[in-house]
Every structure is written in structure tokens, then in C-alpha cells.
Structure 1
């Protein structure tokens, strides 16, 4: 494939390593998550309402509440990953706890003969995405090497040896100090640039292993009004809270086992953490045009999130007779401190249109027998924008402007579709659903999608409810170990699945 990025102006300076387009996608491409009822029906919530998940999808749905409600939704996630990298398959799994929409809804009814018959307020928290996973793949490569990104960086910057030793302490300087990268001289013995000791022509065995933790959490404060049980209007103030950690180990070893080719192996390790806090809003309306029908529209504004990243890195390289076994850490070059990076991210906006058909649509919800609902969601993945926290730093401002152009060239807007329904037998409900999430990548060679099959049961009686659901996502994505400008990039094809078991219990009061 063609070079994945038209540029990579990576700033391995005395701050943390720079961001890349993957960071923005982490805050944009995720499955709909909510209560167990919502999960069981495929995530449909654009026009249904009457459920705490509405606070995070279409807040107008809060207007259907006529009672107060308290809800908790613990869950469990099961990751099963399969990676194919340059003809080699790797399988791993990682399970962890999660949660869905949980919180409190307070409703108020107004006097008769008023257009606005009731209103509701909600405060809730939801895990929009879980980052607990393991990305692991390996394969033989005689086309490129992880070390070449350092060559590109030093060459692009016209870095002299002093800069190579000290200015790129989370990457290129580690490679230079361990002699993985060294100077190259012309026939006259004059410095002419840099060279990698990795024997790419005969090939290396590459191994990528990243353990990730954390989640994309959202606190929502929502309010909605009900006009004559016909029109519902609502909005919520959202507070995204991001926690992301990655422990990366990347290794290349000589595929020939030749003790005289001046390369045995190198290993790069990185400990990265990112914390974010921001603000956004979600607005929506639900209308009942006729008996049994509901239609809904919701708009999620971009969220402005401020991030603080921290990174530590180390390199070990064995160049055999060239320089032997050498190791270096970023802590040794930065007075024992991690690298720091502070920046802002604006997430993509999204819009949802929805329709529901409710059998026996009447005010007494206990007598409703079933529903079927569908959501159509558009997400503008290419709309993410990074910005420097310090607008006076022109180098950072220029870097983020270029990175934003890369995002526009890499991603596209796309459609997500969700369909689900419920069948009710007095106090017991049965639910089924499904969803399709389209690829965010502009380039056709990067195949990605998510297909979900969902189901569950529920029990409601005397103001107490318990719901259990399971959602099975069939995933397809791509993972890059590194990216180069001067060569076609190679990537791992990711397939596999993620299971989501959700239990919701609550009571009305």
C-alpha cells in the first residue's frame, strides 16, 4: 500500500512522543454501550426513551419518565483477538470488568391544562469504550524495519551527532546511543548521514506486544420536557473522562542467526499514559406523529478534551561485533523524569435519526406488549482536530496543523446502523438486536467494520427491574507496528470478537 501518512513530523524532543491519527480514532470509533436492556436490543435508543441510556444518546428520551429511578449496570468484557501479520497468525485473549449506563433519574409532573405535562432530570455515567485489551502480532519482514522511522527523523531534521545523542530521548537518541542507528561516512570518510544496523535485505523477525488499559467514560447531566405526551425535547451536558495506559514491547531479531552480520536483536519498550477531561453536549427530540409510532433525532456536539500524556522508553540492542550489547533509558537522559505532553482534542460530531413502532403505545407502559426500533447514525471521523495547549509555541502549532491534515486524509465519515426489539409477557421481557459499524478509513485497502449480535431477558415487577444481556461483536480492523514515509507501510489484519455481558438492576421510587 502507499505510505500511510504524507508526513510524520514526530517531535521526539524533551517532551513526550507526539500524537498520531490513531489517538483521535480511539475517541470516535466504538460500539454503543448502555444498560443491559439497551445492549440487548442492539443499542437502539434514538427514539425509544424511558431508559437511562437516553441521557447519553438522545436526552429527549428522559421526558418519558413519570417516576424516579435508580440504576446500576455492572458488566464483563471478553476479548478474543486474531492477528495476521505478513503471513503469520497470532491469537490471544484478555477479559476484564466493565460497566454500562448507571445513575439517577428524577421526574416531575405538572398541573393539568398545561402544554408541558412533565419533565425529568438525570445524572448518569456510562463507559463509552473500554481500552482493556492486548494487541500482539509477529511475522517475518524483509521490506522494512521499525528502526527506519529513526533514520527518517534524523535525516529530515538534518540532525548532527549532538542532536542525535540528546534531542530525541524517547526514540532516535535511544537508537543512536545503543548503535542500532549509527553515522554513515562517504568514501572520503566524511559524515554523510545515518544508517541502520538492521539487515533488512535478509529479513528480521518482528514481534509487537501492547497491553492497553483504561476507558472512555462519560458523565452526563440531562434534562428533558414532555409536551402532552406527544413531543419530547431534551439536552445533556457531557463530561468525558479518559484514562488510557499502554505497555509496549517491540522486538526485532536476526532471521539468519548469522553471528557476523553485526546484528542480533533490538528491543524497544515504552510505558505510555494519557489522561483527559473535557466537555460536550447532546441535544435531541422525540415526536409521536401517530399512535404506535415514535421518531427521534439527536445531535452530539464535538467534545473538547484536554489531555496530559506521560511517556518513558528504553532500548536494548545487540549489534554483535559492531558495538556489542548496549542499553539506554529515557530516564537517564531526562533527569529521571517522564516525558510530558499537554494538548487538546476536539472529537467528531455525530447525528442520529431513529424510528420506533411500539405495540399498544399507551400511557400505561405496563400494558405495552412489544417494540421494534432502528437507529441510523452518522459519525464524521475525519472531523477530529488536535491543538497545542501553548498557542505561542509555533513549532507545536505547525505540527498539529499538519497532523489534522493527516486525519482528514486518513479517515472519512461513515454510517452506523442499529436494529432491535423487545417482546413482553407480563413481567418478563425477551430482547434481540444487531448493529453494523462501518469503516472509518478512507483508504479501501484498510478493511474494518464491526458487526454485533445481541440478546437478553428482563424482569419488571412492583418497581423493581433486573435485566441481563449479551452482545457479541465480530471485529475487523488494522494495526500498525510503525509507520514510514519513504516506504509502503505494512500492517496486521485484526479479526476476532468481543463479548459483553451486562447486568442492570434498579428500582423506581
Structure 2
């Protein structure tokens, strides 16, 4: 096989059905979660690790439970908007904006704090909370021209790794989700028909290197929440300790429609157009733990340290694909559509541990705070054989975990925030810098936030606005960069879409306090 690695072909073929879900990007998606439970947390850029006394702090540093002065209940929600500005890499292509608005349920929680007790432990608190940690709702659209076709991928998937050139597998051995559909619709065919040897080709292989019109509409939906049970205490007003058990739960859905077509009649004869659709639904559940402490050397200064254990996520995927292909058969246009069976796969993902270091300075009229988060997505690890004894799954698991280590690096996230207290009113602002986790990218995604609040004797009301900007790239489909004819040039390039994106969210939090009242600073 001319300049096409057999190992790459094996992966493309044997595990093509798994590529709809288990990917390095999915591991990153589930590794970089963080609580957005309350408007107060969001209004100060998430920098709450050393503050405590707020439900948003529990998901950052559970030692904050030890700084609740009263029992507390809250509910939090608000609208969010995600916009992707996408452009296909190529000459003369335009940028396309696509947005998605959702209404989010951010969190709901209860803290029970004991009455003052006559010991060195000033109070003990117990919490129940469900808090949002990830939002997957977004739309992506692009349209343009670039060399290569998704039929190149189908051709790669059809090749026999033990043979050379374009000698392929028996049609009955093609996978059910991509190459098999391509063969059924005529996107992939054997022009010779030798019963002893199958040699595949495509209509567009003759146009290798030519820019082909293509477009994609990608919709993702879903979210993740942490249901948590926590305990915390306050020792001598100097040291707060806390622990939380998190039970992540959620869902992720993806609907992808990808098209290629001729811009003028007979431009790529006999090819006219194709449309490939894939759908994925993932059910998410898991467990992790978080420990933390907050130390107050003096009343006006606090230091915080929190550690989140590696987590285990159990994931269940359901997926299917559909391919429609139209070509001119010499007499008339012919259109064929093929459908995959419904696929299902159960597997696990170990997410990385996280550290948070925090500092806060507190005065009569407010506070300033800062958090530094450390997480290493390269330590995420798939287990694809938890419910499978298929050797193919084990081999793909090793390759996938190797890819994760190669693609990602440790990420440092900086968050800064402040609050001004004027009587019962609060005014907040925050700023954050999130380091991208890709090894070949040395950039930070900036974000900022604003917030206001009102503190009554028993109730409180908070509002926040938060926006994060980031740049990223993705491939609508992947290939092994094959040189099918052996002339030294790549015939199957992978297209690349560059994106400038932003996410912004408004959050409204209402809560009320009950039980013992023991004020130590304005923040109560």
C-alpha cells in the first residue's frame, strides 16, 4: 500500500464504528469540568477557593462548608449563548456564524449548619447539592471548498491491510457504519469486478488535489451535573476542612450533517453530490471525591488548597449513520441511500485529578480573591474492555490512550475576582485565563464577568454575566493522509475548520438562610 501506514488503516477499519464517540477530544471534554452553580461564583470569575460560605465554593474547595454561619438553601438558573464563527481552511472561503441559546438550570442546594457548640470546632455543616459543571449546547456551520473528499476516508476504510495498492476487503467484510454504506450507495465501487480480488476506487479519486465544495451543520446538546454530598467544619476560626463525594451525571447528543456537491453541472463527473449523517447519544454517570482546607492566619487573609481525585465515568453510547449518494450513470442521475444498524457501546473513562490553590484578602467593604487550577488532561485514560472481551477494543484502547498522551499537556487556569460591599448591596467583577491543553498550542482563553447582589437579613438575590472567548480547530472527518497512487503527494488530506468562539451566560441565584446567626464578617 503506497505510503499509507498499515497500523493507521487497521485503526480506521477495525474501529471505525467506535470513532463516533471514543476520541481524545471527548476525553478532554469530560476532563475540564468546573462548577457554575451560583451567580456569586460566576460574578467573580470563579475565584472562590479561599472564600467559602457560598454554594459555588463547595464545588471548588469543600472546606468552604466550614465557613457557613447559617443553614442555607438556594436555586440558580439563567440563559446562555454559544456562538461559533467557523471558516474552512482553503482559498476564498467565507466565515459563518452559528449560535445556540439555551436556558440553564445551574444548581440547587441545601446546607445544614449546627448551632454553636462549646468546643474548638465552632460549627459543622452538611450539604446536598446538584450543580452544573459542563454545557454542551452549541451549533457549528461551515461552507467552502478544500481539497479532498470524505470518500477518501471511505476508501481508506475499505483497504486490506495485508495487501498493497488499492486492493480491498471483501464487500461483506466492510464496516456497517461508513465503508459499507459507501459501497451500498456507489460512493465506493470496484470497476473491474474480479471475483478473486476487489480493487476499490471512488468517483472523486480522479480529482485528487482539486478543491471540492463541502459544508457541515453540527449540533451538540446536553450538559453535566455533579450531585454532591459534603461535610465541613471550622476549627478555632483558623482552619476549615471539608470533603465532598461527587456523582457526575448527564448526557451528550450530537447530530452531524455533512455534504459534498458540484458547484456547476458535470464539474466532477460522474459525481453529483453526497450527504453523510451521524447521530450519537451518550449517557454519563460516575464518581469522584474532593478534599479541601482553608487556613486563616489572620481574620483578613485566607489561603485555600483543594484536591479532586481522579474520577471514573461510565459512558453508554448509542449511534447510527446514514449516507445518500447521487451520481450520473451515463444515462440519468442515480440516487441511493443506505442506513447503518443501531450501534451501542459501553465503556469507562478515568478523568484526571485536579488541584486548586487559592488566596483571598477580606475587609470591611469587600474582598479580593485568586485561584490557580492545575489539571493534566494527558492522564485521562479510556477503558473500552470493561464490558467487552473483543481484542479489537483492547488494541484501540491502547492506541487511543497513547493519542491522549501525545496530544495534551497540563493546563493551568488563573482566576481573579473581587466584591465590593456597600450596605446590603454587592458589586462584583472577575477575570480568568484558561490555558489550552493542546501540546502544540501555547495560548490562553480569556474570560471576564460582572455581577451584583443584595443581602437581606435572611434572603439574598444575585445576578451575574460571564463571557469566555476561545479559538480552536477541528476536522469534519479524519483520514490517514494516504498517497493512493504512490506519486509522493497526499491524495486523502484531512480538512481543517478554524473557529473563533465565545460563550456567555447570565445567572440568577435566589437563596435564604435559616438557623443560628453568628456573624463574623460582612459576607454573611
- Give the TM-score normalised by the residue count of structure 2: 0.87
Query: Aligned ranges for residues 216-235 of structure 1 at < 5 Å?
Result: 216-235=224-243
Query: Aligned ranges for residues 479-498 of structure 1 at < 5 Å?
Result: 479-486=474-481, 489-498=494-503
List alignment gaps of at least 5 residues for structure 1: 361-368
Query: Aligned ranges for residues 83-482 of structure 1 at < 5 Å?
Result: 83-86=86-89, 87-112=93-118, 114-142=119-147, 144-155=148-159, 157=161, 163-165=170-172, 167-183=174-190, 185=192, 191=197, 193-198=199-204, 199-258=207-266, 261-321=269-329, 324-330=334-340, 334=341, 338-360=342-364, 369-388=365-384, 389-390=386-387, 392-444=389-441, 449-482=444-477
What secondary structure, in the 3-state scheme, does the structure 1 residue paired with 2:394 have?
A: helix
Shift of 1:475: 2.1
Q: 1:419 to 1:228 in 2, by over 3 A?
A: same
**1:60 has 2:63 as partner:** yes
* Partner deviation per Cα, 1:89-139 (whole Å, 9 max, x = no partner): 111111001132321011114522x22221111111111111111011122
Deviates more, 1:99-108 or 1:35-44: 99-108
Match of residue 363 from structure 1: none
Contact kept, 8 Å, 1:16 with 1:311, in 2: the verdict is: no
Contact kept, 8 Å, 2:109 with 2:130, in 1: the verdict is: yes
Match of residue 484 from structure 2: none
Shift of 1:321: 1.8
Contact kept, 8 Å, 2:328 with 2:334, in 1: the verdict is: yes
Cα distance in structure 2, aligned partners of 1:495 and 1:14: 30
* Partner deviation per Cα, 1:470-504 (whole Å, 9 max, x = no partner): 01111211222011222553321111321100000
Q: 1:16 to 1:202 in 2, by over 3 A?
A: closer
Shift of 1:419: 0.3
Q: 1:355 to 1:64 in 2, by over 3 A?
A: same
Cα distance in structure 2, aligned partners of 1:400 and 1:450: 30
Cα distance in structure 2, aligned partners of 1:287 and 1:428: 27
Q: 1:215 to 1:163 in 2, by over 3 A?
A: farther
Q: 1:270 to 1:74 in 2, by over 3 A?
A: same
Contact kept, 8 Å, 1:55 with 1:221, in 2: the verdict is: no
Cα distance in structure 2, aligned partners of 1:494 and 1:260: 29
Which of the numbers 25, 28, 32 marks the counterpart of 2:28?
A: 25
Q: 1:305 to 1:156 in 2, by over 3 A?
A: farther
Shift of 1:238: 0.5
- For the aligned residue pairs, the C-alpha RMSD in angstroms reads 2.4
Q: 1:158 to 1:18 in 2, by over 3 A?
A: farther
Q: 1:321 to 1:306 in 2, by over 3 A?
A: same
Cα distance in structure 2, aligned partners of 1:156 and 1:222: 55
Contact kept, 8 Å, 2:420 with 2:427, in 1: the verdict is: yes
Q: 1:269 to 1:43 in 2, by over 3 A?
A: same
What secondary structure, in the 3-state scheme, does the structure 2 residue paired with 1:194 have?
A: coil
Deviates more, 1:10-19 or 1:375-384: 10-19
Q: 1:167 to 1:321 in 2, by over 3 A?
A: closer
Shift of 1:189: 9.8
Shift of 1:60: 0.5
Contact kept, 8 Å, 2:15 with 2:396, in 1: the verdict is: no
Cα distance in structure 2, aligned partners of 1:43 and 1:260: 53
Cα distance in structure 1, aligned partners of 2:219 and 2:455: 40
